[in-house]
Structure 1
Amino acid sequence: MTVYHIVLFKLKKGTPESTISQLKEAATAMVGQVPGLQKIDLGPPIPATAARAKGFDYGLIAILDKAEDLKGYAEHPAHLKYALQY
Structure 2
Amino acid sequence: MESEAPIVRIELCRADAVVLFDWLMSTDLDAVPITHPAQRQAFIDLCDELESQTDVLSATIEEVALAQQEVAKNIAQ
Same fold, TM exceeding 0.5?
no
More helix per residue:
2
Larger-gyration structure (1/2): 2
Higher relative contact order (CA 8 A, sep 6+): 2
Q: TM-score, normalization: structure 2?
A: 0.38
More strand per residue:
1
Q: TM-score, normalization: structure 1?
A: 0.35
